[in-house]
Amino acid sequence: LGRHRDDQRQSGFTYNGVEFSQNNLNLFAGLCAVDTQEHVEIMMRELSAQGQHCTRMGAYKPRTNPYSFQGHGKSCLPWVFETAGKHDIRVIAMEITHESHIEEIDECLEKLGRPTGVMLQVGTRNTQNFELLKAIGRQKTYPVLLKRGFGITLNESLNAAEYLASEGNANVVFCLRGMKTDAGSPHRNMVDFAHVPTVKRLTRMPVCIDPSHSVGSRDAAPDGIPDVMHATAQGVVAGANMVLVDFHPRPEKALVDGPQALLMEELPAYLEDVNQCHQLW
Ligand code: PEP
**Mean pLDDT, residues 213-241:** 95
**Mean pLDDT, residues 132-158:** 97
Kindly list the distances between the CA atom of residue 31 and the CA atoms of 40, 71, 100, 155, in Å, as whole numbers in the listed order.
Answer: 8, 12, 22, 30
Name the pTM for this structure: 0.96
- Residue 2 pLDDT greater than 90, yes or no: no
Supply the pLDDT for residue 182: 79
Assess whether the C-beta atom of 246 lies below 6 angstroms from ligand 1.
no
**Domain regions of the chain by residue span:** 17-249+261-279
Assess whether the C-beta atom of 216 lies below 6 angstroms from ligand 1.
no
What number does the ligand 1 atom closest to the CA of 177 have? Answer: 9
Supply the pLDDT for residue 8: 54
Q: What is the pLDDT of residues 51-69, one digit of tens each?
A: 999 999 999 999 999 999 9
Tell how far the Cα of 148 is from the centroid of ligand 1, in angstroms: 10
Assess whether the C-beta atom of 32 lies below 6 angstroms from ligand 1.
yes
Closest residue CA from atom 3 of ligand 1: 32
pLDDT band at 281 (very low <50, low <70, confident <90, very high): confident
Using a 10 angstrom Cβ sphere, with 0-12 exposed, 13-18 middle and 19 or more buried, the burial of residue 222 is exposed
Share of the chain above pLDDT 70, in %: 97
146 forms beta bridges with 122, 174
Supply the pLDDT for residue 11: 74
Supply the pLDDT for residue 5: 45
What number does the ligand 1 atom closest to the CA of 257 have? Answer: 3
Q: Which CATH superfamily is domain 17-249+261-279 in?
A: Aldolase class I (3.20.20.70)
pLDDT band at 186 (very low <50, low <70, confident <90, very high): confident
| Of 126 and 281, the one with more pLDDT | 126
The rounded distance, in Å, linking the Cα atoms of 24 and 29 is 16
The rounded distance, in Å, linking the Cα atoms of 55 and 105 is 16
Nearest of 89, 38, 93 to residue 254 by alpha carbon: 38
The rounded distance, in Å, linking the Cα atoms of 114 and 123 is 24
Assess whether the C-beta atom of 177 lies below 6 angstroms from ligand 1.
yes
Assess whether the C-beta atom of 178 lies below 6 angstroms from ligand 1.
no
The values of phi and psi at residue 142, to 5°, are -115, 135
Q: Which of 34, 56, 127, 213 to mutate to test the pocket of ligand 1 (most atoms within 8 A of CB)?
A: 213
The rounded distance, in Å, linking the Cα atoms of 184 and 186 is 6
Per mean pLDDT, which range of 106-110, 117-121, 186-190, 262-266 is the poorest? 186-190
Supply the pLDDT for residue 4: 47
